[in-house]
Structure 1
């Protein structure tokens, strides 16, 4: 499930992601981001990931395809999770993302306020 957080404002969007994300949910998520991009040059995304967050193959492929075609429109991505896997994935991906001007950072759940502050700065 993907739920937009009420703190979302302007070009900064926050989402809570739990359970297995379906293709339909992925498409809805992309539509929300694209609606923001109609009014803003770039978007920043804060993703709060539960321990059960995962993507089906189709949803994951759709996500990857969208990101690859919109890299220049992404500014910052904050991943909020207590998972060491997500922490490792963000650390491994950050140098690649920086080549395209995307800033990524991982935060623990207890640092959610710091994540919001970072994504807004």
Structure 2
């Protein structure tokens, strides 16, 4: 049996659950509570368990469906009982509702009422995100990295941050017939550098990056980008998800 308990507090309602609950009990209880929710929005409940012996199968499904349908509609739920398994029942219910739910022994029912009447503490607000100060974007001049440059420019503009664009030339490795590493000729490095400068200049002109700092380095792309970011105090690195290496 479920019976209302008279309450004079605003937006707090109480019910006594007695014996073994049935589907017929929930046919009366659910419309009553849903009507209170429609009238008042989020409400708090005190549920007093007296000689409570659980639910029959259909009532258990009623209770579960009701709880999931109204998981956002309760501010606080105080459950008052006198059995250890009732305390565990409340603990198991917590993941299925956004309400604060707490169990009280019967001789602490006054504490339950006081808790329901107290003003809930505001939820902790996440700290305001710190604006970016220096955005670094790595480019290999592919289409994917071009999109990354556009995104980095947008982020820098939103936060008034500095923007740096880096391209890393990965030096070609050549081995002789015995597997010995042979450094490439300086002329090839110079040719790669000149080609990179032309690509970078074209990128600056096409994407209006005149205020950005551009940098061309030789080395392993990932390590070089990270080292540059560390040296220049960059707090955000933007890269494309696909593209050539560099």
For the pair 1:119 / 2:136, whether they are aligned, the reply is: no
Cα distance in 1 between the residues matched to 2:99 and 2:113 = 16
Q: State the TM-score, normalizing by the size of structure 1.
A: 0.87
| Counterpart residue number, 1:109 | 106
Alignment of 1:9-24 (within 5 A): 9-24=9-24
CA distances 1:85-108 after superposition (whole Å, capped 9, x unpaired): 1112223433x15xx531010000
Q: Which residues of structure 2 form unaligned runs of 5+?
A: 119-246
Distance 1:92 1:21, change over 3 A: closer
Distance 1:35 1:112, change over 3 A: same
Shift of the alpha carbon at 1:53? 3.3
Shift of the alpha carbon at 1:9? 4.2
Q: Which residues of structure 1 form unaligned runs of 5+?
A: none
| Higher fraction of helix | 1
Comparing 8-17 and 65-74, the one that deviates more: 8-17
Distance 1:114 1:22, change over 3 A: same
Comparing 25-34 and 48-57, the one that deviates more: 48-57
Q: Which has the higher contact order (CA 8 A, sep 6+)?
A: 1
Q: Which runs of 4+ in 1 moved over 3 A?
A: none
Shift of the alpha carbon at 1:10? 3.7
Shift of the alpha carbon at 1:61? 0.3
Q: Flag the structure with larger Rg.
A: 2
Query: How large is the RMSD of aligned CA atoms in angstroms?
Result: 1.6
Cα distance in 2 between the residues matched to 1:42 and 1:22 = 26
